Amino acid sequence: MLLPVVLLLASCGGSGASTQTTANLLQNPGFEQGADPWHTMPGASWSQDFDVGRNVAHSGAHSVHVNLVPPSQRLQDWVFGVAQDINTNQVPEYVSGDYRVENWLKGTPSQYLQFVVIVFY
């Protein structure tokens, strides 16, 4: 069983040189207004469980917490994380973000942390 995959997007910059300040394409990137518009992906292999809390935050007062506890049913793969759909005509020139991993205990032969941006063009 392939256990945790975490998908966390924290900041997507718009077009322009990387030395310029550009608008963040994500809404509510720091979870300061709660969970919306962040969500999990549909499908049996995606965990639907995540919380917005105040325990640990990079900046601001809030952060998202994804508990990597597998469900009772045995699936080939299990995905933990959050996603956000961005409708834009710009492809970001750069993407940046922060994540924190605590108490990682390897429970299966293949586990990994992943940051993913999928662009449909």
Listed range (5-14, 45-54, 67-76, 109-118) with the worst mean pLDDT? 5-14
pLDDT in tens, 62-106: 988 887 766 566 666 778 889 888 888 877 778 888 888 887 777
The yes-or-no verdict on residue 33 having pLDDT over 80 is yes
| pTM for the whole structure | 0.70
- The residue assigned the tokens 């469900």 is 71
The DSSP line for 48-77 is ---EEESSS-SSSS-EEE------SS--SB
Mean pLDDT score, 7-19: 46
Which percentage of the chain shows pLDDT scores above 90?
Answer: 11
What pLDDT does 10 receive? 43
- Per-residue model confidence (pLDDT) at position 5: 35
Q: What sign does the CA torsion over 50, 52, 54, 58 have?
A: positive
Mean pLDDT of the chain: 75
- Count other Cβ atoms within 10 Å, centred on residue 36: 11
Nearest to 26 by CA among 88, 113, 101: 88
Does position 2 have pLDDT exceeding 80, yes or no?
A: no
